[in-house]
Structure 1
Amino acid sequence: MADLLVVVPGITGSVLRDAAGRDVWNLSPRAIVGGLTGLRRTVGALRLPAGIGDAAPDDPAGLSAGGPITGWHLWPGFWAGGGYGRLLAHLESVNPGGVRGFGYDWRLSNRHTARLLSRRVERWLAEWRARPGNAGARVVFVCHSMGGLVVRYHLEVLGGREHAWRVVTLGTPYRGAVKAISALTGDAFGGLGALGWDEPLTELARSLPAVYQLLPTYRCVSTADGPAGLDTVSVPGADPAMVRDALAFHREIAAAVAGNGAPPYELYAFAGKIQATVQSVELGPVRRYRHEQGGVDHAGDGTVALFSAVPPEWPNTAPALLHAARHGGLPGTAALLDALTDKILARDLGGILAPPCELGLDVPEVVASGPVPVAVRADRADLLLHAVLREPGAEGPDPYGRDTVAEIRLDADGSGGYHGRIPAPEGIWRLDVTAVAETPPVTVGDYVTVASGSS
């Protein structure tokens, strides 16, 4: 193909370096477990000054962005990502030499990042079109999570739409995610108090414009008078001005989309499904997070609800491409990569989107001590499911099982539900549940933090 593929990662998905070129943000879960003091230093270095708005820090010794992170990384309690190594390698095999990874400072306002993307794409496209046979090339964007918001602003507000051919979003929170509320209130990090992480992580979240721009734009707050939006209800601990600006960011995009009319590019939205996902919250004296919105559990990818992973102008979710995958793992899901190739190359999808079974994982992000409760929903009641707790790492499980901490078989309840409790010592672990008797085996996984105690 002659078009240029540009990958835009989500929040936490780009390497950040200091003025000396040392990685400040590129921590794998293994590195975090082995260096709690180092993580605290990292958190302090990532905080932004108050009132930064849409600008970048003017400190000459500040941080700069490298490329997309290729391995697993996480912000404990808030965000976990599988990295973009597999996605980048897959796209390179589809379009050799024609793939660019846009790394950016994911802490900053998406408006600022979109302006940087516009300049970078202009340069990349000019260079690509200068090559023989590429004179008419356009851009195909592949965006994960918040990266889709950055690209959307670039296309619709900054005028980049005329150079785009296709846009593929993977778990983009078009309508926001309730998890951003839990980060700004500090609830996301409450289970990490034993490790002394809760307060610095909360302060970090409250300093980042990007976290605010992930706030839900729909009426996500349950009140005695019915559902309410964040334009009428305060988020405890959050900066009201930053909340208002974040909501204005989404309104700015919506107004541009409405005014621009039908786009000249094709838009495909991939979304996670059947994963337990928080969709609403009660902001009373005791905050309660609910796996439902309007009395219905729509599920999602564990971070972004299904209804939020499609563009607001779509009347329903029918055009979305759904996968039973967790948010951080979407860019590396094999079936999704196959379907992504079909969209990029416009081939017949055939049976690629029908895996042998689909698994929805519900596991707490943080527990005070082991064992860890594991619940799975499946579309079949006859599966043989094994849950494995592993040492975290970027390269996948050790084929000889040397990284295995614990393994159990989940019990079936006869109606598609599976449950178990897996022993877990203190630390950060990778939990994978696999339907081992399927061909090929089907796996869903995520990270879990055991804050204190032991099994």
Structure 2
Amino acid sequence: MKHDLVVLVPGIMGTALTRSGADVWDLTPEAMSGLLRPGRTRKMLQLPKDIGDDDPESPHALELGGVIHGPRLLPGLVSNMEYPDLRRLLGIEEERFAEFPYDWRLSNRNSAGKLKLFVQERLTRWQETADPKRFPRAGEAKVIFLCRSMGGLVVRYYTEVLGGWEQTRSVATLGTPFSGSVKALRFLTGQVRWVPSPFREWIHEVCSTYPSLGQLIPTYRVVVDPQEGRSRLKGQPVEGVGTRMIDDSFAFFQEVQDAIEENDAVHGSRRCTLVALGGDKHRTDQALSFSSGGRPKFHQDFSDSGDPEDRGLLLHGDGTVADFAQTPPEWSDTGQTVWLDSRHADLINSGHARKQLKRICDGLALAGVLSAGEPVGVEFPDFAQAGEPFEVWVTNADPAMGLRVRRLGGDGRCVSDEVMQPSGGGGFRAELRAESGRWTLEVYSKALGYSCRDVLLVV
């Protein structure tokens, strides 16, 4: 409603974490090279072993900067295009818009507790100070949450487990992993794609201490077996990941589901509105299997399952989270999710997403299907080495699209623009090289006005 407080909750890498004013998680090529040297920086980025839901102490404690509005990425896990000026783009008055910065390394339970305090303070301030002539119903205001990726899990724990639904009008999520992400598990095992050693080793050493990432371990039937079909990961050891971390992920998601069932039974399922927006066109890690030695192998489909129904499923996602994992598990099917063409990094910048978010903030019903309807999937690397070739792939494309891929600098300037070549079966590819830097890659079609973007770090 137009008198409600709107709160943006970012995801991983969405908040600047600082020490003495320096943004320590701004992974530029220079920063990546510096992190290879053991010392205080690496120790500062790590968290204490078994920190659980607690706050860290020095030297691991970091200060909060603001929500980051430029491109960021954590190679092998997640990338973010810029956070746009949503307040301006959605036509929201400055005084009724707030951004919630938090330490995205910490347990989502911890962050949800801090969100509760944040909402109490900001909502009360809005209700008591809003101009009664412009906002005559501000005294009845609740919160509308706009959540990116893991931010949706923080809000979901707040609304369902901590009782925040009483202060909440609606929740809109973009690419939130409601039942986890196989890509997160790949990341935690150290089997990140494209990232070479020794960068891979320090990423695993540092980030495997983060409770928030452990709470992204998938809880759906993710393990495929030629005889047994599909099963859950719970109780099964994974090389490189502690069983305590796996158990905590299952416990976290179960807490939320138990709270939802109880709240639905006592207060009704319409106590606040949940709208899930996601991407479903792109090849995405969906499952894993285990070798005879117990090492996990990751898959982008269920073709290794012994269940014929699994093998027939057409599975995609936003490149980071599988499509059905972007749908709340209590919903009957994925058809209730609003599907977009964008990859995970760029969902919040989709014009179609913004139209839906504006309607949510204005208290209007969602518009009809807004996806462009193109079945095109794009696969970008997120890490490359300077001067070395890397590839961009497209699936399910029509030659008439005339697909091209271009590389953009931080100022939006195009520094290279290549024609994508057919690779058979509706696929296209392009081989590129780049100098050191953080770049935007964009696959586009002038003929159809199609565009898909992501972030690339070149070291």
TM-score by structure 2 length? 0.87
Match of 1:321 in 2: 338
Tell me: CA distance 1:335–1:209, structure 2 relative to 1, closer, same or farther (3 Å).
same
- Distance in 1 (CA, whole Å) between partners of 2:193 and 2:46 is 16
2:265 is equivalent to residue 242 of structure 1: no
Tell me: CA distance 1:389–1:175, structure 2 relative to 1, closer, same or farther (3 Å).
same
2:32 is equivalent to residue 36 of structure 1: yes
Measured after TM superposition, the shift of residue 3 of structure 1 is: 0.4
Matched position secondary structure for 2:140:
coil
Measured after TM superposition, the shift of residue 152 of structure 1 is: 0.5
- Distance in 2 (CA, whole Å) between partners of 1:335 and 1:236 is 40
CA contact (8 A) 2:43 2:60 kept: no
CA contact (8 A) 1:359 1:378 kept: yes
- Distance in 2 (CA, whole Å) between partners of 1:63 and 1:54 is 16
CA contact (8 A) 2:278 2:339 kept: yes
Match of 1:207 in 2: 209
Match of 1:445 in 2: 453
CA contact (8 A) 1:276 1:362 kept: yes
Q: Percent identity?
A: 34
Tell me: CA distance 1:304–1:379, structure 2 relative to 1, closer, same or farther (3 Å).
same
Give the residue type in structure 1 aligned to 2:263.
Answer: N
Match of 2:85 in 1: 86
Match of 1:99 in 2: 97
Measured after TM superposition, the shift of residue 429 of structure 1 is: 3.7
Match of 2:301 in 1: 292
TM-score by structure 1 length? 0.88
2:189 is equivalent to residue 197 of structure 1: no
Match of 1:14 in 2: 15
Match of 2:52 in 1: 53
Match of 1:331 in 2: 348
Deviations 1:219-265 (A, max 9, x none): 21223533232213212111211221121011000000011101411
CA contact (8 A) 1:87 1:332 kept: no
Matched position secondary structure for 1:97:
helix
Tell me: CA distance 1:126–1:100, structure 2 relative to 1, closer, same or farther (3 Å).
same
- 1:213-292 matched pairs, under 5 angstroms: 213-224=215-226, 225-261=228-264, 262-284=269-291, 285=293, 287-292=296-301
CA contact (8 A) 2:341 2:373 kept: no
Measured after TM superposition, the shift of residue 303 of structure 1 is: 0.2
2:127 is equivalent to residue 129 of structure 1: yes
2:429 corresponds to which of 413, 416, 419: 419
2:109 corresponds to which of 94, 108, 111: 111
- 1:275-424 matched pairs, under 5 angstroms: 275-284=282-291, 285=293, 287-293=296-302, 294-295=310-311, 296-347=313-364, 353-355=370-372, 357=374, 359-366=376-383, 370-378=388-396, 380-391=398-409, 393=410, 395=411, 397-398=412-413, 401=414, 404=415, 406-412=416-422, 416-424=426-434
- Distance in 2 (CA, whole Å) between partners of 1:111 and 1:254 is 14
Match of 2:24 in 1: 24
Deviates more, 1:233-242 or 1:174-183: 233-242
Matched position secondary structure for 2:241:
coil
1:169 corresponds to which of 173, 188, 202: 173
Unaligned runs of 5+ residues in structure 1 are none
- Distance in 2 (CA, whole Å) between partners of 1:200 and 1:364 is 19
CA contact (8 A) 2:401 2:445 kept: yes
CA contact (8 A) 2:340 2:371 kept: no
- Distance in 2 (CA, whole Å) between partners of 1:410 and 1:190 is 20
- Distance in 1 (CA, whole Å) between partners of 2:71 and 2:249 is 28
Deviates more, 1:67-76 or 1:371-380: 371-380
- Distance in 2 (CA, whole Å) between partners of 1:37 and 1:423 is 19
Match of 2:305 in 1: none
Match of 1:436 in 2: 446
- Distance in 2 (CA, whole Å) between partners of 1:36 and 1:144 is 25
Measured after TM superposition, the shift of residue 385 of structure 1 is: 1.1
Tell me: CA distance 1:42–1:447, structure 2 relative to 1, closer, same or farther (3 Å).
farther
CA contact (8 A) 1:338 1:352 kept: no
Match of 2:191 in 1: 187
Measured after TM superposition, the shift of residue 150 of structure 1 is: 0.5
